[in-house]
């Protein structure tokens, strides 16, 4: 008994030092992650001259909220915001439905060639978007969707990553529940809807959050597919502020960046619990 107590006392300082070291690492990582965001917010509240102060200052000495008003005056940010909402919401809804259904099918339904088809799905994740953007552009033009929000929405309604994520989650669920439902006369879709879809809520929420964050900030596809300013999404529309860089008004540009980041930040604040549950769910069987 005495030996166990002595050994326990010897372990305590090591555990304490390890906890402190871990805390220090997390604090440094938080500083690295949030430093640019805080600097962007600080600079957006400065006057154009104060944006280039030397030495740099984290807290503005000459607060200037007029930079945000200048954003609304120089570009139709309200229209850009509405376009981004339409595109992002429809893509998130579409991918959530298609990826959840396909993930369930690959995990729970037996059909010929299932593994081969899924392998092809995974292989598409290794193909960069830049290599297929021209074929996608041609298909979009053939469908009559050129220079429209549909050109961004329809090609993004499916996702190999989303299918993989949902399949892995469904595979950890007990098959006995589905078999019991089938014995009671339920179809595959009935089992999915009433049993597995409800159990997969954390994973579905995680997929939706990841899709929202990714497509809200998407720039490359809108740059290729859109021409008319009325169809621009928010990231592409902010390019209209680049003229301020030539005049030194970088504060106006960063004010537009902050406005574009607000939805993503709010989503993280209010939905982080569901995201964490989705990431950690299924870690322990």
Is residue 93's pLDDT more than 90? Answer: yes
Which of 19, 45, 67 corresponds to the end of one domain?
A: 67
Instruction: Answer whether residue 256 is part of any domain.
Output: no
Higher pLDDT, 62 or 67: 67
pLDDT in tens, 112-155: 888 898 888 888 888 888 888 999 999 999 988 888 999 999 99
**Residues 90 and 177 occupy one common structural domain:** yes
**How far, CA to CA in Å, does 91 sit from each of 167, 218, 223, 275?**
19, 12, 17, 18
Query: Using 50, 70 and 90 to split pLDDT, how confident is the model at 195?
Result: confident
**Residues 92 and 59 occupy one common structural domain:** no
Query: Using 50, 70 and 90 to split pLDDT, how confident is the model at 44?
Result: confident
Is residue 87's pLDDT more than 50? Answer: yes
User: Which of the 8 DSSP states describes residue 187?
Assistant: -
Instruction: Answer whether residue 21 is part of any domain.
Output: yes
**Residues 43 and 152 occupy one common structural domain:** no
- In terms of pTM, does the model score above 0.75? yes
Quote the CA–CA distance of 208 and 97 in Å, as a whole number.
10
CATH of the domain at 183: 1.10.3720.10
**Residues 8 and 86 occupy one common structural domain:** no
Whole-number mean pLDDT of the chain?
82
Q: Which residues contact 33 (CB under 8 A, 6 or more apart)?
A: none
Q: CB–CB of 152/233 below 8 Å?
A: yes
Which of 67, 91, 115 corresponds to the end of one domain?
A: 67
**Residues 233 and 101 occupy one common structural domain:** yes
Give pLDDT, residue 30. Answer: 81
**Residues 32 and 115 occupy one common structural domain:** no
**Residues 92 and 164 occupy one common structural domain:** yes
Give pLDDT, residue 275. Answer: 63
Give pLDDT, residue 285. Answer: 43
Share of the chain above pLDDT 90, in %: 17
Instruction: Answer whether residue 41 is part of any domain.
Output: yes
Closest CA to 222 of 137, 142, 144: 137
Quote the CA–CA distance of 157 and 52 in Å, as a whole number.
43
Is residue 272's pLDDT more than 80? Answer: no
Instruction: Answer whether residue 82 is part of any domain.
Output: yes
**Residues 129 and 94 occupy one common structural domain:** yes
Number of domains in the chain: 2
For 114-139, give the DSSP string. Answer: HHHHHHHHHHHTTS-HHHHHHHHHHH
**Residues 148 and 121 occupy one common structural domain:** yes
Instruction: Answer whether residue 263 is part of any domain.
Output: no
**How far, CA to CA in Å, does 116 sit from each of 29, 85, 113, 182?**
41, 36, 5, 26
**Residues 101 and 220 occupy one common structural domain:** yes
Write out the residue range of the structural domain in which residue 151 sits.
Answer: 75-244
**Residues 96 and 191 occupy one common structural domain:** yes
Instruction: Answer whether residue 189 is part of any domain.
Output: yes
**Residues 39 and 93 occupy one common structural domain:** no
Which of 50, 67, 84 corresponds to the end of one domain?
A: 67
> What average pLDDT does range 79-85 have in this prediction?
94
Instruction: Answer whether residue 61 is part of any domain.
Output: yes
pLDDT in tens, 150-187: 999 999 998 889 999 899 888 888 888 877 877 777 77
**17-31, 112-126, 225-239: segment of lowest average pLDDT:** 17-31
Instruction: Answer whether residue 211 is part of any domain.
Output: yes
Query: Using 50, 70 and 90 to split pLDDT, how confident is the model at 284?
Result: very low
Is residue 189's pLDDT more than 90? Answer: no
Is residue 246's pLDDT more than 60? Answer: no
Query: Using 50, 70 and 90 to split pLDDT, how confident is the model at 16?
Result: low
> What average pLDDT does range 189-214 have in this prediction?
86
Higher pLDDT, 264 or 280: 264
Pure H helices in 59-174: 66-74, 77-108, 114-124, 129-142, 150-153, 160-171
Query: Using 50, 70 and 90 to split pLDDT, how confident is the model at 58?
Result: confident
* Token pair in block for residue 243: 């003229």
Query: Using 50, 70 and 90 to split pLDDT, how confident is the model at 222?
Result: very high
Place of tokens 């579905």: 204
């Amino acid at each position: 008994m005495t030996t166990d107590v002595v050994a326990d006392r010897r372990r305590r300082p090591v555990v304490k030092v390890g906890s402190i070291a871990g805390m220090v690492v997390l604090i440094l990582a938080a500083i690295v992650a949030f430093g640019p965001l805080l600097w962007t917010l600080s600079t957006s509240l400065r006057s154009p001259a104060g944006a280039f102060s030397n030495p740099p200052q984290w807290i503005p000495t000459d607060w200037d909220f007029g930079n945000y008003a200048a954003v609304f005056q120089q570009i139709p940010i309200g229209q850009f915001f509405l376009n981004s909402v339409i595109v992002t919401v429809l893509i998130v809804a579409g991918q959530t439905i298609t990826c959840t259904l396909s993930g369930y099918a690959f995990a729970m339904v037996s059909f010929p060639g299932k593994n081969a088809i899924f392998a092809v799905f995974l292989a598409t994740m290794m193909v960069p978007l830049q290599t297929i953007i021209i074929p996608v552009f041609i298909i979009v033009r053939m469908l009559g969707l050129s220079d429209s929000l549909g050109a961004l929405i329809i090609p993004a309604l499916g996702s190999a990553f989303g299918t993989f994520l949902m399949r892995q989650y469904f595979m950890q669920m007990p098959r006995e529940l589905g078999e019991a439902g089938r014995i009671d006369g339920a179809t595959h879709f009935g089992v999915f809807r009433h049993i597995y879809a409800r159990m997969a809520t954390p994973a579905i929420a995680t997929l939706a959050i990841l899709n929202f964050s990714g497509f809200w900030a998407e720039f490359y596809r809108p740059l290729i597919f859109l021409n008319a300013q009325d169809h621009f999404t928010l990231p592409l529309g902010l390019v209209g502020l680049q003229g301020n860089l030539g005049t030194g008004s970088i504060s106006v540009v960063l004010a537009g960046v902050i406005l574009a980041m607000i939805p993503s930040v709010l989503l993280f604040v209010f939905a982080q619990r569901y995201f964490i549950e989705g990431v950690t769910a299924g870690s322990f069987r």
